[in-house]
Each structure stands twice: as structure tokens, then as C-alpha cells.
């Protein structure tokens, strides 16, 4: 008889985008740096990743957040983010979800804390209501401005390549109507853009793959500055305004002189949820985005990994 493994999880959503926070029970990844543990997670535990977020327990839209011991002793916790196809660098909506989930468990007090991710330490500030969270993200910057790419079936477009904890290609002039009714068309379009970036060898720094595409338009709500549609690695779109994508956007706006220190940029998502972004610190390497959003806990449960279950580690893709 094989014994089942059990993982404790808290499910949250941030502006409609879900995060499955794994709090206990994951196999030991050792006590190396977060980068080493992220690499071990990728190499040896990819089936666990798929089992946590993919069908039949999840779906393509889920982002997972594995809570681990921090390597940096100034941090309250370490976290490795992942989704339906692989690992993520940082994750803004996920960080907000992690803070609210840890607060729900009584593991995080209201106030400021540090969280270690494979791409750097971020600061989280859990507000009194335990729903709003402010993040100081990793340094974000524009890598290249106005990069032209020829998109099959759509023609040439221009966009910026920027880092916000993940790599983004950000497009303002795409000719697409950003409306929730059109998510299939927007997904097809963004996939074609990402394919074109790969085909033309357009990457982030050090040849890193640009795995997120972000389209912008006027907001529906005039209280906001912009609306976006964000294609995540794989083919799911972000229901939230995307914390790392909003950071990448802020970096471009700051470089273009469109947002000044202390000014708030309200980014609306394709479903109408909002994140606020601003910055105080800037140098020649970029800005430190300060993002505020809110998350809600909507489930607390145990995942059972029964080795006799043919789809214990997800449906093969």
C-alpha cells in the first residue's frame, strides 16, 4: 500500500486572479538560496507543480506560491511562485495573496515584513483590515524602448521590453479592443506577439525569454489611468492588473517622465479590478514600484496526493 502525501493550502484571489498558497507538507527543497531551491523545484518537483495548480485540482489560471524557510534571516518567509507551465520570478498579485493567507493563519502580523523570492527581497505591508497589502517590489526598469516586431497575421507593431520581476513586452498601439468579451481574440493576438518575439530573437536582458505580453488601452472607469490585458506564461490571462506587469509599466512611464515620485498610477485589469502603483526611489537602474491591492481567502484545504490516482500529478499536457 502506498501512502498519500498531504499538502495544506490556502486559496486566495487578488482582483479575481487566484493564488494557491502551499503552507505545509511540500517535500524538502534543502536550505540553499531561493534560487537554488527554485532550481531544485524545477528539476525534481515539476510534477508536484502540475499536481497543485493544474487539472483536476486546479486549472490553467492558477498561480501557486510555495512558502519556504527564508535563506535571508531578515525575511519572514521565502516564496517560490509557479503557474500551469513553470516557475515565475516574482508575482505581485501572488504576493498580496500570500500576505493575506499567512495573516489568515495567524502567521503574519499587521505591519511591514520582508519576503524572499528567487529574484530578490520584496517588502510587504499588511494593512489593518488584513485585506489590503502594499508591496515594495524588486527594482523595475525598461530594457528596450519601441522595439518593432512583425506579428504573423497582424503586421508590425512596436512595444517596450521591461522587467518588473518577470519579463514583459508592453504594447499601447495594437488595434485591439480590450474587452472581457474578447479574451479569446486577445489571447490569440498576444500568443502571436509572443511567438513573433521568439522568432525574431527579442529577449530580456541576458537572453531571458519574454514570457508575458501586456496590452494597454483607456480605462473603463475614469478614476483609473489605464486598462490592461496580460498574457501569462502558458496561455492564461491575468484577471488582476498583474503586479509585475504594472511594475514594468510604471518603470516605462517614469522613464518617459509621465509619472513623478509620489504620484499614483491606477491600473485597471481586463475584468475591472484595480492595483495602485507609485514610486519614491529612482536611480539610473530603474525604480522600486510600490503596489497596493487586496486579496481574499476563499478556501482552506488539504490536497491529497494518492500515488494510485492516475491523475495525481495532473493531466499530462
Provide the minimum distance between the beta carbon of 308 and ligand PYC in the complex, in angstroms, as a whole number.
33
Comparing CB distances to ligand PYC, the nearer of 157 and 242 is: 242
Rule CB under 6 A: is residue 7 a binding residue for ligand PYC?
Answer: no
Other beta carbons within 10 angstroms of residue 95's beta carbon come to 29
Provide the minimum distance between the beta carbon of 94 and ligand PYC in the complex, in angstroms, as a whole number.
6
Rule CB under 6 A: is residue 268 a binding residue for ligand PYC?
Answer: no
Residue 202: phi, psi to the nearest 5?
-90, 120
Provide the minimum distance between the beta carbon of 61 and ligand PYC in the complex, in angstroms, as a whole number.
9
Provide the minimum distance between the beta carbon of 277 and ligand PYC in the complex, in angstroms, as a whole number.
11
Comparing CB distances to ligand PYC, the nearer of 108 and 242 is: 242
Provide the minimum distance between the beta carbon of 173 and ligand PYC in the complex, in angstroms, as a whole number.
23
Within 8 A by CB and 6+ apart from 33, the residues are 71
Comparing CB distances to ligand PYC, the nearer of 136 and 238 is: 238
Active site residues: 91, 242
Number of residues that bind ligand PYC (CB under 6 A): 13
Dihedral sign for Cα 266, 267, 273, 275, please.
Answer: negative
Residues of this chain, 228-247, that bind ligand PYC according to CB under 6 A:
232, 238, 240, 242-244
What DSSP state is assigned to residue 309?
A: S
Residues of this chain, 75-134, that bind ligand PYC according to CB under 6 A:
88, 91-93
- According to DSSP H, which parts of the chain are helical? 34-44, 46-53, 92-104, 183-199, 243-255
**Cα–Cα distance for residue pair 42/99, rounded to 1 Å:** 24
Helix then strand then coil, % of the chain, to nearest 5 = 20, 40, 40
Comparing CB distances to ligand PYC, the nearer of 23 and 117 is: 117
Q: Which residue from 229, 246, 247 is spatially nearest to 238, judged by alpha carbons?
A: 229
Rule CB under 6 A: is residue 63 a binding residue for ligand PYC?
Answer: yes
CA distances from 219 to 15, 92, 246, 299 (A): 16, 20, 14, 31
Per-residue cell: 96: 498580496
Residues of this chain, 190-229, that bind ligand PYC according to CB under 6 A:
none
Q: What binding mask, one character per residue, do residues 131-170 give for ligand PYC by CB under 6 A, x or -?
A: -----------------------------------x----
Chain residues in the site for ligand PYC (CB under 6 A): 17, 63, 88, 91-93, 166, 232, 238, 240, 242-244
Amino acid at each position: 500500500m502506498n501512502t498519500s502525501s498531504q499538502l495544506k493550502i490556502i486559496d486566495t484571489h487578488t482582483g479575481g486572479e487566484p493564488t494557491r498558497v502551499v503552507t505545509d507538507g511540500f517535500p524538502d527543497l534543502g536550505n540553499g538560496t531561493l534560487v537554488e531551491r527554485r532550481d531544485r523545484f524545477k528539476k525534481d518537483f515539476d510534477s508536484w507543480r502540475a499536481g497543485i495548480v493544474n487539472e483536476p485540482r486546479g486549472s490553467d489560471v492558477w498561480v501557486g506560491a510555495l512558502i519556504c524557510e527564508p535563506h535571508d534571516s531578515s525575511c519572514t518567509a521565502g516564496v517560490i511562485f509557479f503557474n500551469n507551465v513553470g516557475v515565475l520570478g516574482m508575482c505581485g498579485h501572488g504576493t498580496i495573496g500570500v500576505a493575506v493567507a499567512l495573516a489568515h493563519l495567524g502567521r503574519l502580523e499587521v505591519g511591514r515584513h520582508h519576503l524572499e523570492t528567487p529574484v530578490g527581497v520584496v517588502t510587504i505591508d499588511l494593512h489593518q483590515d488584513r485585506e489590503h497589502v502594499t508591496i515594495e517590489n524588486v527594482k523595475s526598469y525598461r530594457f528596450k524602448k519601441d522595439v518593432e516586431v512583425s506579428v504573423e497575421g497582424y503586421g508590425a507593431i512596436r512595444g517596450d521590453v521591461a522587467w518588473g520581476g518577470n519579463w514583459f513586452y508592453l504594447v499601447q498601439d495594437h488595434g485591439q479592443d480590450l474587452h472581457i468579451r474578447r479574451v479569446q481574440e486577445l489571447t490569440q493576438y498576444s500568443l502571436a506577439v509572443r511567438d513573433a518575439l521568439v522568432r525574431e530573437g527579442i529577449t530580456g536582458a541576458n537572453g531571458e525569454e519574454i514570457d508575458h505580453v501586456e496590452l494597454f488601452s483607456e480605462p473603463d472607469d475614469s478614476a483609473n489611468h489605464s486598462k490592461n490585458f496580460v498574457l501569462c506564461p502558458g496561455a492564461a490571462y491575468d484577471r488582476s492588473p498583474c503586479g509585475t506587469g504594472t511594475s514594468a509599466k510604471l518603470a516605462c512611464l517614469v522613464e518617459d517622465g509621465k509619472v513623478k515620485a509620489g504620484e499614483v498610477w491606477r491600473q485597471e485589469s481586463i475584468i475591472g479590478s484595480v492595483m495602485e502603483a507609485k514610486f519614491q526611489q529612482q536611480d539610473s537602474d530603474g525604480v522600486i514600484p510600490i503596489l497596493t491591492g487586496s486579496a481574499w481567502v476563499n478556501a482552506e484545504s488539504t490536497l491529497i496526493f494518492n500515488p494510485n490516482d492516475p491523475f495525481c500529478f495532473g493531466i499530462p499536457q
